[in-house]
């Protein structure tokens, strides 16, 4: 559209022979106190950096996106008496980055359990789920050797490598260097560790009636991620913040007493060597069955010999995974069922649990929950990529790994459904979408909490459906000024705030975005696109924000700012109402105001005297340049009540100003404008003001100039900020003074 310039001012200035332009100063009108600043909320440049060759402005991986790769060949030997794992790993690390490397960094996360670790130093004595819960033992990774493996002409050479261990990190030096864009190094590490009973609530050893349950994770030296964002990501494992790992293929051989069942990320390669023929038969049935099939029963577990000197080696493989974890026990009941995937492929749901957890009100339904959860997420977001999904009853509250999760052995009913569905939801975030958990827990826990909320509705006709959230009630929790921001890492927030900031607040944010801001169709496509774009890759927060904005076609900087970047509050309120020309039959003008830093769209219900309720929705754009806003509602009878956010879908911290009622609320007088209308002239200049009424306000037309509105500022007083003038009518309204910014006046008379 054409740009309109108000050269009226310039013309009048010339006519009056004054050299100064009219003042643009605003009239000093005292308004009710609001903390809202629309520039803060809607300012440009939300993103602090532009798109790049590796990360496109649209939020997809850039045309030069690269990612390094780590393939692992691992072995583990379990000493059941000593809770000791002895293992070896051959890591084939591929440097796809454009940078030459002279060393690599690895995670030795077991070192959290060393007495003198940084994590041990920062885990509080009480009230924490992290660390080893006061267990005194010889924890930590014992590195026996680190070797660089080379082969030439079929001859394999192993050379001891120089390495430095610093807390939970190990730097391995590469004297030959590692070439960019495809250079490969093979590192062989022999290690052992004693498993803690409670490993920061993510792995451990549980004593049961029929023997120990070992849930093993963070068990082998894992590559740190080298990325285009920070280079090496070497933040230590302190307990609260989780992991950031490279993708690759895994080949794992686990040797345990022969009376154990071993489950692991991925698919069992040698079932005939480890299962009895009866178990193999039942396993084959389970693979074809939608109902759960018992493979090793409670009675069989109870009758097993309690000790054995023989061992079995279980061989597992998983592809395109960022980690591998396993569990082993002679106490395991084992059952399974088929998982139906959208492409027609089948996967297998398995559960292992002790007799203490058995029963249909408990782990007897674990496989059903696992199957349903995986099928649901596959349908809604992205197909499950692994051949098996295993739920393990352990002494963790609940912890996720690729293709395998550890859930609390005491969980039952709704809580077992909840934890199973949550931990398997993690397959999508962060196992498929490999974000940096150590820094941005909301990108896995929060996104997962969101997909869980839909899944709970879907499961078994809402058997465990949760009540709809009341964001008015939750607003104090979500936007309490004492909270850190969601962008803070878990290591950078009070442990008590992690549940809010990493789980429920981002989860509620995505619900708002889906239900109120974008609508399910646009949101779901955007989130699905995010998962597809970043599957098996490493997205940053910006890659998420940009993808949602680009796919949904919406600038959401105001939303990211208020809810994700800052901890802003929302308080929408109703200021006043007035009937047009003081006549309820002609409709009402409702004035609302934004009192806090965050902006949100408006949803309100208008109820009239006869009981009719009309829902009014206003877009967030009303707050893009206004602190308060008046709008017309075409009601035809007196108003009984007006309710802002009647369904409590926005986190409004102050409900007191959300409802206007006829009983208690005030109705403002509408100014009757009839007396101010007419044609006015002055003998000082050839100017004619034609004042008419339009949409309840005075409209001024001066021949040859754009029209403008007058806003009442007091008795008989009006102004136009746009035209830069004020008008004051005399008592009889037979004329007015036009007042310039510097106070000089010009008289007009009604014709
Ligand atoms: Zn989680």
DSSP secondary structure string for all residues of 296-336? E-HHHHHHS-S--S-EEEEEEEEEEES---EEEESS-EEEE
| pLDDT number for residue 318 | 98
Cα–Cα distance for residue pair 42/600, rounded to 1 Å? 11
Beta strands (DSSP E) in 217-321 are 222-223, 226-227, 231-232, 248-257, 261-264, 267-268, 293-296, 311-321
- Whether 233 and 438 have beta carbons less than 8 Å apart is answered as yes
Element (H, E) at 533: helix 520-534
Cα–Cα distance for residue pair 417/408, rounded to 1 Å? 11
Find all residues with CB under 8 Å of 476, minimum gap 6, and list them: 653
CA of 405 to the centre of ligand 1 (A): 10
DSSP-assigned states of every residue in 576-608: EEEEGGG-GGG-EEEEEEE-SS----EEEEEEE
Find all residues with CB under 8 Å of 223, minimum gap 6, and list them: 68, 70, 91, 93, 104, 105, 106, 107, 245, 246
CA of 414 to the centre of ligand 1 (A): 17
Burial degree of 483 (CB within 10 A; 0-12, 13-18, 19+): middle
Smallest CA-to-CA distance from 374 within 423, 447, 441, 323 is with 423
CA of 428 to the centre of ligand 1 (A): 11
CA of 380 to the centre of ligand 1 (A): 19
Q: What single DSSP character describes residue 127?
A: S
Q: Tokens in use for 625? A: 């340049």
CA of 503 to the centre of ligand 1 (A): 8
- Whether 575 and 668 have beta carbons less than 8 Å apart is answered as no
| pLDDT number for residue 3 | 63
Helix (H, G, I), strand (E, B) or coil at 402: coil
CA of 422 to the centre of ligand 1 (A): 6
Cα–Cα distance for residue pair 530/535, rounded to 1 Å? 8
CA of 448 to the centre of ligand 1 (A): 7
CA of 230 to the centre of ligand 1 (A): 25
Smallest CA-to-CA distance from 337 within 285, 400, 401, 393 is with 285
For residue 430, is the peptide bond before it cis, meaning its omega torsion is within 30 degrees of 0? Answer: yes
Residue reference for tokens 């070192």 = 111
CA of 424 to the centre of ligand 1 (A): 9
CA of 401 to the centre of ligand 1 (A): 10
CA of 28 to the centre of ligand 1 (A): 53
| pLDDT number for residue 22 | 34
CA of 186 to the centre of ligand 1 (A): 33
| pLDDT number for residue 387 | 98
pLDDT along the chain (751 residues), means of 10: 54 45 36 87 95 98 98 98 98 98 98 96 89 93 97 94 98 97 98 97 97 98 98 97 98 98 98 98 98 98 91 98 98 98 98 98 98 97 98 98 98 97 98 98 98 92 90 96 95 94 97 98 98 98 98 98 97 95 96 97 98 98 97 97 98 96 92 93 88 90 86 92 90 92 88 91
The 8 Å CB, 24+ separation contacts for 75-78 are: 75/252, 75/253, 75/254, 75/255, 76/216, 76/219, 76/220, 76/252, 76/253, 76/254, 76/255, 76/326, 77/254, 77/255, 77/256, 78/214, 78/254, 78/255, 78/256, 78/257, 78/260, 78/328
Per-residue H/E/C for 191-220:
EEEECCCECCCCCEEEEECCEEEEEECCCC
- Residue 330 backbone dihedrals phi, psi, to 5 degrees: -85, -10
CA of 104 to the centre of ligand 1 (A): 29
CA of 433 to the centre of ligand 1 (A): 14
CA of 300 to the centre of ligand 1 (A): 33
CA of 502 to the centre of ligand 1 (A): 9
| pLDDT number for residue 25 | 34
Radius of gyration (C-alpha) of the chain in whole angstroms:
34
CA of 276 to the centre of ligand 1 (A): 35
CA of 441 to the centre of ligand 1 (A): 9
CA of 369 to the centre of ligand 1 (A): 16
CA of 350 to the centre of ligand 1 (A): 20
Residues paired with 589 in a beta bridge: 578, 632
Smallest CA-to-CA distance from 548 within 564, 567, 568 is with 564
Find all residues with CB under 8 Å of 687, minimum gap 6, and list them: 12, 15, 681, 702
| pLDDT number for residue 8 | 55
| pLDDT number for residue 685 | 84
- Whether 544 and 552 have beta carbons less than 8 Å apart is answered as no
CA of 398 to the centre of ligand 1 (A): 7
| pLDDT number for residue 11 | 53
CA triple 83-87-91, angle to 5 deg: 145
CA of 697 to the centre of ligand 1 (A): 56
CA of 215 to the centre of ligand 1 (A): 17
| pLDDT number for residue 14 | 47
CA of 426 to the centre of ligand 1 (A): 6
CA of 589 to the centre of ligand 1 (A): 47
CA of 423 to the centre of ligand 1 (A): 6
CA of 417 to the centre of ligand 1 (A): 14
- Give Cα separations from 371 to 326, 336, 367, 463 (angstroms): 19, 9, 6, 16
Q: CB within 5 A of ion ligand 1: which residues?
A: 445
pTM, two decimals, is 0.92
- Quickly count: other Cβ atoms within 10 Å of residue 285's Cβ: 16
- Residue 335 backbone dihedrals phi, psi, to 5 degrees: -140, 170
């Amino acid at each position: 559209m054409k740009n309109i310039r108000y050269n009226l001012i310039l013309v009048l200035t010339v006519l009056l022979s004054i050299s100064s332009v009219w003042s643009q100063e605003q009239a000093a009108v005292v308004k009710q106190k609001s903390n809202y600043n629309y520039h803060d909320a809607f300012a440009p440049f939300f993103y602090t950096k532009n798109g790049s060759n590796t990360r496109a402005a649209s939020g997809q991986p850039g045309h030069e996106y690269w990612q390094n790769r780590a393939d692992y060949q691992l072995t583990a030997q379990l000493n059941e008496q000593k809770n000791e794992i002895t293992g070896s790993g051959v890591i084939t690390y591929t440097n796809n980055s454009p940078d030459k490397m002279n060393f690599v960094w690895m995670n030795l996360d077991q070192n959290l359990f060393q007495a003198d670790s940084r994590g041990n130093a920062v885990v509080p004595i009480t009230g924490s789920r992290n660390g080893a819960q006061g267990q005194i033992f010889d924890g930590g990774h014992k590195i026996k050797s680190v070797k660089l493996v080379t082969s030439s002409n079929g001859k394999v050479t192993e050379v001891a490598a120089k390495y430095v261990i610093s807390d939970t990190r190990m730097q391995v030096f590469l004297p030959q260097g590692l070439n960019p864009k495809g250079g490969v190094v093979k590192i062989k590490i022999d290690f052992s560790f004693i498993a803690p009973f409670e490993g920061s609530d993510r792995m451990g050893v549980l004593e049961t009636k029929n023997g120990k349950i070992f849930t093993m994770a963070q068990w082998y030296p894992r590559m740190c991620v080298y990325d285009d964002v920070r280079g090496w990501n070497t933040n230590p494992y302190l307990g609260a913040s989780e992991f950031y790992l490279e993708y690759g293929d895994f080949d794992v051989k686990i040797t345990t007493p022969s009376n154990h069942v071993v489950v692991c990320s991925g698919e069992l390669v040698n079932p005939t060597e480890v299962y009895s023929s009866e178990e193999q038969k039942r396993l084959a049935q389970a693979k074809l069955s939608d109902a759960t099939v018992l493979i090793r029963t409670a009675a069989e577990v109870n009758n097993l010999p309690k000790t054995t000197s023989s061992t079995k080696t279980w061989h597992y493989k998983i592809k395109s995974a960022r980690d591998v974890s396993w569990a082993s026990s002679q106490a395991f009941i084992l059952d399974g069922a088929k998982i139906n995937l959208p492409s027609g492929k089948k996967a297998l749901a398995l559960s292992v649990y002790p007799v203490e957890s058995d029963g249909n009100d408990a782990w007897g339904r674990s496989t059903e929950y696992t199957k349903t959860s995986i099928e649901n997420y596959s349908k809604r977001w992205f197909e499950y990529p692994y051949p098996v999904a295993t739920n393990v009853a352990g002494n963790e509250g609940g912890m996720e790994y690729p293709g395998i999760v550890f859930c609390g052995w005491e969980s039952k009913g709704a809580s077992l459904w909840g934890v199973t569905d949550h931990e398997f939801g993690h397959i999508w975030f962060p196992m498929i979408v490999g974000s940096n958990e150590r820094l941005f827990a909301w990108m896995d826990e929060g996104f997962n909490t969101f997909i869980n909320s839909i899944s709970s509705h879907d499961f078994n006709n809402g058997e465990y459906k949760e009540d709809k959230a009341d964001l008015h009630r939750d607003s104090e929790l979500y936007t309490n000024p004492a909270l850190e921001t969601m962008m803070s890492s878990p290591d950078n927030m009070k442990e008590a705030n992690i549940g809010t900031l990493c789980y429920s607040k981002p989860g509620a944010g995505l619900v708002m975005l889906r239900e109120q801001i974008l609508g399910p169709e646009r949101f779901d496509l955007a989130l699905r696109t995010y998962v597809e774009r970043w599957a098996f890759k490493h997205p940053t927060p910006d890659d998420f924000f940009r993808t949602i904005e680009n796919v949904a076609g919406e600038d959401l900087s105001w939303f990211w700012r208020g809810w994700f970047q800052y901890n802003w509050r929302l308080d929408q309120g109703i200021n006043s109402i007035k009937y047009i020309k003081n006549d309820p039959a002609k409709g009402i003008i409702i004035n609302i105001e934004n009192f806090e830093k965050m902006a949100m769209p408006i949803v309100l219900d208008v109820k009239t005297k006869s009981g009719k309720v009309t829902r009014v929705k206003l877009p967030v754009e009303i707050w893009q340049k206004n602190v308060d806003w008046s709008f017309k509602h075409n009601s035809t009878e007196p108003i009984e009540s007006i309710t802002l956010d009647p369904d409590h879908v926005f986190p409004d911290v102050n409900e007191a100003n959300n409802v206007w009622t006829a009983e208690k609320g005030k109705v403002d007088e509408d100014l009757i404008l009839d007396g101010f209308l007419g044609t006015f002239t002055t003998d000082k200049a050839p100017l004619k003001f034609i004042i008419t009424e339009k949409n309840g306000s005075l409209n001024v037309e001066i021949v040859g100039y754009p029209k403008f509105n007058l806003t009442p500022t007091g008795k008989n007083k009006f102004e136009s900020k746009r035209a830069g003038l004020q008008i004051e009518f005399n008592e009889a309204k037979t004329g007015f003074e036009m007042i310039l910014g510097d106070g000089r006046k010009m008289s007009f008379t009604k014709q």
